[in-house]
């Protein structure tokens, strides 16, 4: 099996708690890379990149773990590419 580079977008419920959410993502999920993505009307999303094993359900587990963090409004897989 190979590895997959997965990018997910995490949108916060409240922008006042954005910094805490970003810290939670970095600490709990241990992403390879974290970026901020402006959406609209002052809302900024977190785009986190991960390298995971290429296996069935690999991205589902990552999505569930991200969605379970406090102050998360939505989680979306942006891409999943073999590396």
pLDDT score of 1 more than 80: no
What distance in Å separates the CA atoms of residue 79 and residue 25, rounded to the nearest whole number?
18
Q: For residues 30 and 65, is the Cβ–Cβ distance under 8 A?
A: no
Q: For residues 25 and 46, is the Cβ–Cβ distance under 8 A?
A: yes
State pTM to two decimals. 0.91
Domains, the chain, ordered by start: 3-82 (3.30.70.60)
Q: For residues 70 and 22, is the Cβ–Cβ distance under 8 A?
A: no
Instruction: Work out the average pLDDT over 74-83.
Output: 93
What is the per-residue pLDDT across 6-43, written as a single tens digit (0 to 9) for each?
999 999 999 999 999 999 999 999 999 999 999 988 99
What is the per-residue pLDDT across 36-55, written as a single tens digit (0 to 9) for each?
999 988 999 999 999 988 87
Q: Is 9 exposed, middle or buried (0-12, 13-18, 19+ CB in 10 A)?
A: middle
């Amino acid at each position: 099996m190979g590895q997959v580079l997965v990018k997910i977008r995490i949108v916060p419920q409240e922008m006042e708690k954005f910094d805490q959410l970003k810290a939670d993502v970095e600490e709990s999920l241990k992403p390879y890379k974290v970026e901020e993505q402006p959406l609209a009307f002052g809302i900024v999303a977190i785009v986190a990149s991960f390298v995971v094993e290429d296996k069935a359900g690999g991205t589902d587990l990552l999505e569930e773990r991200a969605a379970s963090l406090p102050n998360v409004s939505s989680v979306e897989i942006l891409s999943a590419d073999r590396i």
